[in-house]
Amino acid sequence: MRPSSSDRARGALLFGVLLALIVGALGVTVGGCVMVRPEEREYLADPAMTFGSEGIAGEHEEHVLSNREGSAGAGAVTGGGCGCN
């Protein structure tokens, strides 16, 4: 049994819409790729922009912990210090 002309037209329309969506998604993806100028790289190298770390907040917390414990690096090891919690 051969597909009717309306089935073929519906398939062609579906293919056209799907192709337009793929091309549009590809255009948006490629449009997000830019070259970063050297003077803009300083903002991207900021510690607040790193993945998986606290950034500036982590540095602040480490400073507070070192003042409270009386020693540097108190955030990495439990225990130590004056013993008062």
Domain boundaries, the chain: 37-71
How far apart, in whole angstroms, are the C-alpha atoms of residue 64 and residue 80? 15
Cβ–Cβ < 8 Å for 48, 56: yes
CA distance 28 to 62: 41
Structure tokens at 31: 């449009």
Contact 65, 72 (CB under 8 A): no
pLDDT of the chain, 85 residues: tens digit per residue: 677 778 888 889 999 999 999 999 999 888 878 888 888 888 777 776 666 666 667 777 777 777 776 665 545 555 555 656 5
pTM here? 0.39
